[in-house]
Amino acid sequence: MKRLLIPVLTSSLMFCVTSCAVKPGGPAAPKASPAKAKAPVTPFEGAWREVRNQGNETSGSKMWEFKGDTITIRDGGKIFAGTFSINESRTPKEMDFQFDGYPLNKAVYELTGDSFTIKVLDTAMERAAILGTQTGYTLIICTKIQ
Going by C-alpha positions, the residue among 115, 95, 113 that lies closest to residue 105 is 95
DSSP state of 104: -
pLDDT class for 64, splitting at 50, 70, 90? very high
User: What domain range includes position 132?
Assistant: 46-144
* Beta strands 115-121; 137-144: pairing state: antiparallel
CATH of the domain at 116: 2.40.128
**86 within 8 A of 95, measured Cβ to Cβ:** yes
pLDDT at 113 (0 to 100): 92
pLDDT in tens, 67-111: 999 999 999 899 999 999 999 999 999 999 999 999 999 999 999
**Single-letter amino acid code for the residue at 4:** L
Q: Is the pLDDT of residue 26 over 60?
A: no
Q: Is residue 109 part of a domain?
A: yes
Q: Is residue 136 part of a domain?
A: yes
